[in-house]
């Protein structure tokens, strides 16, 4: 096969969603890399990468253009990838949203096989298209560390009677992914628990934290009886998930009344109840949830 025929076979494997066909175009030590692979991968690791993409986008397909040899043992081509997010991705449920991504690949050959493929594209395009935030920020600046946060709320507006706090330092990246998945499942289960008000998770530097609000200090005990939180606690205690961590329950000493602003005159009020209107005659906005 000529180098361009190898490229054709490689592209056909992608469009057939056939991992064996793609791997057959690579030499024994051939590698693939793009902005999402964290370096070169090959063999079964590449197979896993391919299957993960096809799981998230079962109809994934490519349109190739400008295929050309760039040297005796090199070639390049442009492509447009399209598909629909009908499978889970980043540990999240499918969105059903379509995606379209442009990129270019540069291929090196050796012994009639692909030695390496290096793909280039904007790694933030697909997450943005399926409705995810793409945040660019430093990990650390001086005494400040940065991260991301997620919140879930029941809509209940009463002041919390207790907070439970869990903080973990994951063992590695794989353990961090398991903790995130467990945290999402746990918060879904918490929505059905008596006395649960809301929760916030945060990943900051090498720490992962969950702060949840409850009616009273006994309500968080429900987390330990069964379900995803109980399973995660077992992983914490057997050393398979975290290097360190702790849990705690706190009761507030003082919770001041919620203040709301009159949108007409700008005056602040101590919540809309029992007062539902401002002295200027305008109706007061609803009080947000405490947590």
Q: What is the pLDDT along the chain (291 residues), one digit of tens a residue?
A: 899 999 999 999 999 999 999 999 999 999 999 999 989 999 999 999 999 999 999 999 999 999 999 999 999 999 999 999 999 887 678 999 999 999 999 999 999 999 999 999 998 899 889 887 777 778 888 888 888 888 899 989 889 999 999 999 998 888 888 888 888 888 888 999 999 999 999 998 889 999 999 999 999 999 887 678 887 888 888 888 899 999 999 999 998 988 999 999 999 998 766 778 999 999 999 888 888
* Cβ-proximal residues to 141 (8 Å cutoff; 6+ apart), any chain: none
For residue 10, the model assigns a pLDDT of: 98
Query: To 10 degrees, the CA torsion angle through 112, 114, 115, 118?
Result: 150
Considering just the CA atoms, what is the radius of gyration of the chain in Å?
26
User: Which residue in 26, 62, 61, 63 sits closest to 47, CA to CA?
Assistant: 26
CATH number of 146-250: 3.30.70.100
Rounded distance between C-alpha atoms, residue 63 and residue 44, angstroms: 25
Rounded distance between C-alpha atoms, residue 86 and residue 102, angstroms: 20
Task: Centre a 10 Å sphere on the Cβ of residue 82 and count the other Cβ atoms it contains.
Answer: 14
What does the domain layout of the chain look like in residue ranges? 3-129, 146-250, 258-291
Q: What is the dihedral sign for C-alpha 92, 93, 94, 97?
A: negative
Rounded distance between C-alpha atoms, residue 138 and residue 131, angstroms: 22
Fold classified for 3-129:
Nuclear Transport Factor 2; Chain: A, (3.10.450)
Rounded distance between C-alpha atoms, residue 237 and residue 219, angstroms: 22
228 close to 185: Cβ distance less than 8 angstroms: yes
Angle of helix 173-190 relative to helix 228-237, nearest 10 degrees, comes to: 150
For residue 273, the model assigns a pLDDT of: 67
User: Which residue in 47, 230, 29 sits closest to 113, CA to CA?
Assistant: 29
Strand pairing report for 113-121 and 26-33: parallel
Residue 174's SS3 state is helix
User: Which residue in 79, 67, 81 sits closest to 2, CA to CA?
Assistant: 67
For residue 205, the model assigns a pLDDT of: 84
Burial class (CB in 10 A: 0-12, 13-18, 19+), 41: middle
* Length of the chain, in residues: 291
For residue 85, the model assigns a pLDDT of: 95
For residue 83, the model assigns a pLDDT of: 97
Structure tokens at 53: 């993409």
Host H or E run for residue 95: none
Burial class (CB in 10 A: 0-12, 13-18, 19+), 194: exposed
Give this prediction's pTM: 0.63
């Amino acid at each position: 096969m000529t180098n361009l025929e190898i490229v054709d076979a490689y592209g056909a494997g992608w469009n057939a969603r056939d991992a064996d066909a793609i791997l057959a175009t690579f030499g024994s030590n051939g590698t693939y890399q793009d902005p999402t692979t964290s370096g070169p991968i090959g063999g079964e690791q590449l197979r896993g990468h391919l299957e993960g993409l096809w799981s998230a986008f079962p109809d994934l397909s490519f349109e190739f253009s400008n295929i050309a040899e760039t040297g005796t043992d090199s070639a390049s081509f442009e492509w447009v990838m399209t598909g629909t997010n009908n499978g889970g991705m980043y540990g999240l449920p499918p969105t059903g949203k379509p995606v379209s991504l442009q990129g270019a690949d540069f291929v090196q050959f050796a012994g009639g096989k692909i030695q390496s493929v290096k793909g280039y594209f904007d790694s933030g395009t697909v997450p943005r298209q399926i409705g995810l935030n793409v945040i660019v920020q430093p990990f650390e600046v001086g005494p400040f560390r940065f991260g991301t946060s997620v919140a879930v709320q029941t809509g209940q507006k009463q002041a919390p009677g207790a907070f439970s706090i869990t903080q973990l330092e994951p063992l590695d990246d794989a353990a961090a992914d398991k903790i995130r998945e467990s945290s999402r499942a746990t918060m879904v289960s918490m929505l059905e628990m008596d006395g649960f008000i809301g929760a916030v998770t945060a990943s900051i530097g090498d720490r992962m934290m969950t702060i949840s609000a409850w009616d009273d200090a006994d309500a968080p005990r429900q987390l330990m009886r069964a379900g995803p939180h109980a399973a995660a606690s077992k992983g914490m205690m057997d050393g398979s998930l975290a290097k360190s961590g702790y849990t705690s329950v706190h009761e507030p000493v003082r919770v001041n009344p919620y203040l709301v602003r009159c949108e007409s005159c700008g005056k602040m009020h101590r919540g809309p109840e029992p007062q539902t209107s401002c002295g200027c005659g305008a109706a007061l906005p609803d009080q947000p949830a405490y947590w």
